Chain A
Amino acid sequence: MGFVNPMFLAFLVLIPALVALYFIKSQPVRQTVSSNRLWAAVSQRLRENSLFQRYRNSILLMLQILAVILATLGMAQPFGRVAYSGRSVLVIDLSASMASTDLEPTRFAAARAAAKALIREHRGEEDIALVSMDATCRLEVPFGSVPGLVSSRLEALRPTDLPGPPVRDLAMMLTGLATQKVERVFLFTDQVPPDGLQEKLGGGLYVKVHYFGTEDRNVAVSRFAFDEDPAGGGILSATITSYGKDSAPVEVSVLHEGKSLHRETVQVLGKENAAWKHALTTAPKGLYEMKVTSAADRLAADSSARLLIGATSTRIAVISRNPAAILRLLDKVEGIEATGHTPQDLAGNEPIADLYILDGVSHPDLCRRQALIFLAEGDPHLTSGPSRPAGAISRALWTHPLMKYVSLEGLTFEGLRPLKPGSGDVEVVGAAGGPLITVRTDGDTRQVLCSFGLDGTNLGARVTFPILVLNAVKWLGRRDLAGGRSHRVGHPYPLPAHWTGELELTAPDQTVTKITPQRRDLPGSSLSAVGSHRLRWKEEERVIPVNLEDFGESRIEPASRTAVELGKAGAAGAPVPRTYWKPFILLALLLLFLEWGLYCKLGG
């Protein structure tokens, strides 16, 4: 507690003056009277009266002194804690890097403590809204909530293993909040770039960003994969990355179904990626888990990776007027579950698969998925215009995995459909008339686009066709067909078509959740933690190995500043000291009134 105007405390010198005056006035005046007989009777009656009568003079002095003290304190304007008025939004980062342990116990714990301290500096929690952010921004508690709800919700939050939201999405959310008469936003994060946010906000809102984190050291494992050897066994591979300038030995351990399979120590220099491989003479099916531990490790989420070998098959949906032809090619391939569908089957009932083969079928949704597409008229990948002669095959990217063991000899193509170019396009096979086979990568989605229909070529009749299809399936699936499956954290997980109704999901921390998916996939928010999730539907169970694959979250380099202010200069609604002068002044006036009343009643 302090005083806004401490100089008024000088008025306290009035107190000794009052006391001195009291004693001066209290000096008796000598008065000769005829006789003290009557005054003795008066004195006797006074003694018989109340205590107040005896001490009334002292009581008046006390009231005066108290009034002076209170009035002085009131004028000095004591203030307690500073308090914010108006609406504030607290945005707390729940992304994976907030679980870094460079701040004990974690950056998130430090951020939450700072947020709680800020809550205490507000007059009431009803003026605070709580927003959490990881891959998306969510309103946890709106304005006008009951007291204590913000604090309790804040206490219940935990960091996820998801990456942070794009700055654009965060800026949009904050800009939207400005319409709710928000005075200020407090952002608790470790890595949101202030410049990017400033640019997006345009100065329309006051935002104070509190940064957390002290180190950039971290060891991560990524790209945990299994390369199957057709002769048996295969090679486990991964990338071990050491972030930060310090390096330390990294202990690597591999487990199969929870049992130790391999251990070693690798040295990874700071800021470098080390490629790691381990050969397996046999690769039994099941869950493989790789863990890296190091003194330089600051984030647990990226220190392990898991993949499933052979436990499940790749589901392929073949949509064609005659799916049987392609189904026969895939029938004997291990690790594939292929289903065939005609265009009529699609009406409102798209099959759920890991990837699709569209043969001469145009579907607005399926065309955008992981697919091998023999483009048909009307496909959105095509530009308007008629087909044109392909001409002879003139170029091929033989190094592409798609071309492994593929032979182009003797292939003819009648017509070449005009492909709409894309930014991630790589021409694998081209002819004089244009690209014949193009691979397209759009974010996580891969597509193999064939600018022809199978009915306009002799490819389907050649030996190389199934090789091409299998290569495409492998490339599309980014894993060997025998398994080696992992799932990216926060991404929706496609469910088998026959799994309807309630599912039971067991998270890596063994918490069990019952989910009834509204769509044909498990929402990404259900898989926001790395580790092995178990999904059960009736008697069937699947293991979903979830990994943190966003390298950005593995790089936990903190911001260079602990706090940044963006937006309006001068910070609208800065905390103001909560002064308490009114009760002091009112009480002083009340005491003076009481003293005056007593004084008048007692004859002044």
Chain B
Amino acid sequence: MLDLTQTGFLKSLRRLRIMTRRSFRGQKIGSRKTSEKGASVDFKDYKEYNPGDDPRFIDWNVYSRLEKILVKVFHSEEDVNVYVLLDSSQSMMTGSPSKFDHARRIAAGIAYLATTGSDRCRITTFGEGIVEHSVHADRPGQAMSLLRFLEKAKSGGGSEFARTVDEFLLRYKRRGVVFVISDFLGEEPVTEALRKLRYQKYDVNLVQVLSPDDLSPTWQGMYELVDSEDESVKKLFIDQGTLNLYQQVVEEMTREMEGFARQYAMRFIQTSSAETFENAVLRLFGIRRATAS
């Protein structure tokens, strides 16, 4: 069973928080980072001290070095509604390590960043429509409840993303940032549903979670491939040529998703369940992990 509240994982989350310092746009003054100066804990820049500035924000370290009195300027903060749509269909159970576990870790990372950044975060699992949703956590203290929600989340059943989006849009009126974490391998195309989200002014981020076998299967021989969701069977003789062809198909699918995401200003990353969730989250926020020189 996935343990997202264990010490090691929490440490990873905190490390992630430090590395990302991500801000989300939202309705309530929370952890949103804007360029507006305001009482915020997020430093933006220095300016010369002018009479009337809050002396609490004088950086005395700088003064000791430069003998200049400089005042810190901070970002002003706003609340952001962060929604995490987590695919919990049966197809997410495949792979080793499990795609669902990897997706939950990524969802946990996003949720932790959102809540500790004073944003409002709700996690919703979906399959053939919305399956379950968490509380709408808006305080750092509620991060644990989100983690526990993720721990208890179950997967199974088919996948109907269009119906999920329709239900989501009906249920949640407040716009925000949506993270869709799925393998996007369902039979029905997801593009129409995603476009709906964009039309509704949601900031959409796509995380495609695939297993190593989804990305680069290595089996060769005569196989009966059983679809994990609808249990349809396809017989195929797999040899290197077939595998090469499969690679082409996967690359084409990825390019299509990337192209679609670019076209609709969505962020898209593809992650393997063999990758660490930290890497995945960092890539999601466009942060490169610093390498030791």
- B-binding residues in A (CB < 8 A): 25-43, 45-46, 53, 56-57, 602-604
Contact = CB atoms under 8 A, between A and B. Distances in A.
A46 B236 CA distance: 10
B250 A38 contact: yes
A45 B252 CA distance: 13
A271 to B, nearest CB: 90
B232 A36 contact: yes
A273 B125 CA distance: 132
A28 B249 contact: no
Interface string B205-221: 00000110110010111
A375 to B, nearest CB: 112
Contacts, number: 101
Contacts of A604: 220, 239-240
A26 to B, nearest CB: 5
A35 B236 contact: no
A34 to B, nearest CB: 4
26 contacts: A25-B222, A28-B222, A28-B224, A29-B221, A30-B226, A31-B224, A32-B225, A33-B94, A34-B91, A34-B95, A34-B228, A35-B91, A35-B185, A35-B187, A35-B229, A36-B226, A38-B246, A39-B236, A41-B249, A43-B234, A45-B249, A46-B236, A56-B239, A57-B237, A603-B239, A604-B220
Contact of B224 (A29, A35, A45, A603): A29
B99 interface: yes
Contacts of B237: 57
Most chain A C-beta atoms within 10 Å of own C-beta, residue among B99, B211, B236: B236
A47 to B, nearest CB: 11
B187 A26 contact: no
A603 B225 contact: no
Contacts of B253: 38
B183 interface: yes
B243 interface: yes
B171 interface: no
Contact of A42 (B210, B220, B221, B242): B242
B127 to A, nearest CB: 14
B228 A32 contact: yes
B246 A39 contact: yes
A46 B242 contact: yes
Contacts of B186: 35, 37
Contact of A38 (B99, B185, B211, B226): B185
B242 to A, nearest CB: 6
A31 B220 contact: no
Contacts of A34: 91-92, 94-95, 99, 183, 185, 210-211, 213-214, 228
B223 interface: yes
B241 interface: yes
B37 to A, nearest CB: 49
Chain B: interface residue count, which band? 35 or more
B224 to A, nearest CB: 4
Contacts of B224: 28-31
A27 B224 CA distance: 9
B174 to A, nearest CB: 33
Contacts of A31: 219, 223-226
Interface in B219-275: 219-229, 232, 234-237, 239-243, 245-246, 249-250, 253
Contacts of B222: 25-29
A37 B185 contact: yes
Most chain B C-beta atoms within 10 Å of own C-beta, residue among A30, A33, A53: A33
Nearest to A40: B234
Contacts of B229: 35
Contacts of A43: 234, 236
Contacts of B227: 33, 35-36
Leading 3 A-B pairs by shortest Cβ distance: A603-B240, A35-B185, A34-B91
Nearest to A33: B225
B228 A33 contact: yes
A26 B221 CA distance: 8
A436 B221 CA distance: 119
Contacts of B92: 34
Contact of B245 (A25, A29, A37, A45): A45
Nearest to A35: B185
A603 B245 CA distance: 12
A221 B183 CA distance: 118
Contacts of B243: 603
Contacts of B236: 39, 42-43, 46
Interface string B91-108: 110110001000000000
Contacts of B223: 28-31
Contacts of B210: 34
Given A42-B249, A602-B239, A36 B234 contact: yes
B246 A42 contact: yes
B226 A28 contact: no
